[in-house]
């Protein structure tokens, strides 16, 4: 029974709590995603609007495109592997209307971990399954175990292994003392000699991956005309990671968070930095306390920068991005850095959005500016 005193306290607490934001105004259908998610947001909005899909099913269908695409080397099939050459995937889902969540971590052999995360949500009394257990659960539900390492990703992994050097310039995966003259030149020089059949574009890309391992990932958030929201994040994680490394993507509150009363958020980039600030939850909390989507992501990024005393040299060694969608339809993508330089060309950090089927890329708001 609630005592009179407790009732009084509860009423005061409720009065102080921030009010839920309005329903999606005008019944708009909105989906936002990371920069690799233009196809995802396009499909998610089409499915919600034209085929009455639930927000989570729409978002998952959107990211399945990247999970199954061998050319996206940061997600699902074709993702860059761990240091042993094995692809390990992380994914999470949250369904706003039922306030449920599911995730899988370090799962091998399944192309679409986002679908397995949804099954964990629907068919178990747990939230997260990891490794071998997650794979067995997926197979029990009829998923096919498949080789996820494509030839392109395998060659990039091998090149990374061969690029490593000890302080004396040695690597067991490279030519030894008895090799012909010139064969033990620094990696960049022997690259074309070592891989004569590969295109210069592939070698440039693979070298970039070896030197700057990616933490790609796709996050997709969806809002329908009734104001219902859901989200999904899925990734192959940090390239060349230690086997068993789990990033932020499957962690509810870090890689993804949805609060049906206020909004949804997700993240891509270096998961370790995100986990330290429980980023997606922090962004949603900021919106719950009344911040716009832009202010919410920028405030969260400031907390990330604070963890390194705002030291640009340390912060410059990674990228981190947040995506935020309020229940009232306000949205933003936010990045630690304004963009990056690839072969001397500046690439602004962007995110994908579709509002009622008008799909486009937009620039992220950013905290810091990278110099050339
Ligand atoms: N954000 C993806 C990862 O760090 O694994």
Confidence of residue 338 (pLDDT cuts 50, 70, 90): very high
- Yes or no: say if 320 and 301 are a contact pair by the CB < 8 Å rule: yes
From ligand 1's centre to the CA of 90, what distance in Å? Answer: 8
- 33 closest CA partner among 348, 296, 359, 289: 359
pLDDT at 1 over 50: no
pLDDT at 291: 98
Task: Select from 233, 247, 253, 277 the residue to mutate for testing ligand 1; criterion: most ligand atoms less than 8 Å from CB.
Answer: 247
pLDDT tens profile 136-183: 999 999 999 999 999 999 989 998 998 888 888 788 887 777 776 665
Cβ of residue 34 lying under 6 Å from some atom of ligand 1: no
State the closest ligand 1 atom to the C-alpha of 90, by its place in the atom list counted from 1: 5
Q: Ligand 1, atom 5: nearest CA belongs to which residue?
A: 237
From ligand 1's centre to the CA of 308, what distance in Å? Answer: 19
pLDDT at 43: 98
State the closest ligand 1 atom to the C-alpha of 238, by its place in the atom list counted from 1: 5
pLDDT at 184: 57
From ligand 1's centre to the CA of 319, what distance in Å? Answer: 10
pLDDT at 211: 82
The topology (CATH level 3) of 30-148+213-368 is 3.60.20
Cβ of residue 266 lying under 6 Å from some atom of ligand 1: no
From ligand 1's centre to the CA of 4, what distance in Å? Answer: 49
pLDDT tens profile 111-145: 999 999 999 999 999 999 999 999 999 999 999 99
pLDDT tens profile 48-99: 999 999 999 999 999 999 999 999 999 999 999 999 999 999 999 999 999 9
pLDDT at 34: 98
Q: What is the crossing angle of helices 113-123 and 55-67, to 10°? A: 150
Q: Which of 150, 217, 234, 235 is catalytic?
A: 217
Task: Select from 269, 278, 317, 322 the residue to mutate for testing ligand 1; criterion: most ligand atoms less than 8 Å from CB.
Answer: 269
* Average pLDDT in the chain: 90
Cβ of residue 270 lying under 6 Å from some atom of ligand 1: yes
Which tokens hold the place of 241?
């990671």
What value does the mean pLDDT take over residues 339-357?
A: 90
Q: Any catalytic annotation for residue 112?
A: no
State the closest ligand 1 atom to the C-alpha of 247, by its place in the atom list counted from 1: 5
Cβ of residue 271 lying under 6 Å from some atom of ligand 1: yes
Task: Give the separation between CA 324 and CA 335, rounded to whole angstroms.
Answer: 11
In the DSSP assignment, the letter for residue 310 is T
- Yes or no: say if 327 and 229 are a contact pair by the CB < 8 Å rule: yes
pLDDT tens profile 208-227: 888 888 877 999 999 999 99
Any long-range contacts for 41-47 (C-beta under 8 Å, 24+ apart)?
41/220, 41/352, 41/353, 41/354, 41/359, 42/354, 42/357, 42/359, 44/220, 44/222, 44/354, 45/222, 45/354, 45/355, 45/356, 45/357, 45/359, 46/357
Cβ of residue 268 lying under 6 Å from some atom of ligand 1: yes
- Yes or no: say if 143 and 100 are a contact pair by the CB < 8 Å rule: no
State the closest ligand 1 atom to the C-alpha of 270, by its place in the atom list counted from 1: 4
Q: Where are the domains of the chain?
A: 30-148+213-368
pLDDT at 186: 55
- 121 closest CA partner among 146, 96, 139, 142: 96
Cβ of residue 82 lying under 6 Å from some atom of ligand 1: no
Cβ of residue 231 lying under 6 Å from some atom of ligand 1: no
State the closest ligand 1 atom to the C-alpha of 255, by its place in the atom list counted from 1: 1
Task: Give the separation between CA 156 and CA 138, rounded to whole angstroms.
Answer: 28
């Amino acid at each position: 029974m609630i005592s009179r005193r407790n009732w009084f306290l509860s009423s005061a607490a409720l009065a102080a709590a921030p009010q839920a934001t309005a329903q999606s105004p005008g019944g708009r259908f909105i989906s936002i995603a990371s920069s690799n998610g233009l196809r995802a947001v396009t499909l998610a909005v089409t499915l919600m609007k034209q085929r009455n899909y639930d927000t989570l099913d729409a978002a998952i269908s959107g990211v399945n495109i990247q999970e199954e695409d061998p050319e996206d080397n940061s997600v699902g099939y074709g993702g860059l592997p761990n240091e042993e050459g094995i692809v390990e995937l992380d994914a999470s889902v949250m369904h706003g209307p039922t306030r449920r969540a599911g995730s899988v971590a370090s799962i091998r052999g399944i192309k679409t971990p986002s679908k397995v995360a949804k099954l964990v949500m629907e068919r178990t009394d747990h939230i997260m399954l990891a490794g071998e257990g997650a794979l067995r659960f997926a197979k029990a539900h009829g998923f096919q175990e498949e080789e996820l390492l494509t030839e392109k990703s395998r060659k990039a992994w091998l090149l990374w292994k061969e690029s490593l050097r000890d302080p004396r310039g040695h690597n067991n995966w490279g030519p030894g003392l008895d090799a012909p003259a010139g064969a033990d030149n620094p990696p960049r020089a022997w690259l074309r000699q070592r891989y004569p059949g590969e295109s210069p574009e592939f070698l440039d890309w693979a070298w970039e991956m070896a030197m700057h391992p990616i933490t790609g990932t796709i996050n997709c958030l969806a809002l329908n005309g009734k104001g219902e929201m859901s989200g999904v994040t899925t990734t192959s994680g940090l390239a060349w990671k230690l086997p068993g490394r789990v990033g932020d993507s499957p962690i509810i509150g870090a890689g993804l968070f949805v609060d049906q009363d206020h909004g949804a958020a997700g993240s891509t980039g270096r998961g370790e930095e995100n986990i330290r600030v429980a980023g997606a939850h922090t962004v949603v909390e900021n919106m719950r306390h009344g911040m716009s989507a832009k202010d919410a992501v920028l405030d969260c990024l400031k907390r990330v920068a604070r963890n390194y005393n705002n030291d640009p040299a340390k912060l410059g060694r990674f990228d981190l991005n947040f995506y935020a969608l309020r229940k009232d339809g306000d949205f933003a993508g936010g990045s630690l850095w304004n963009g990056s330089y690839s072969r001397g060309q500046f690439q602004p950090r962007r995110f994908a959005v579709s509002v009622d089927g008008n799909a486009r890329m937009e620039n992220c708001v950013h905290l810091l500016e990278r110099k050339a």
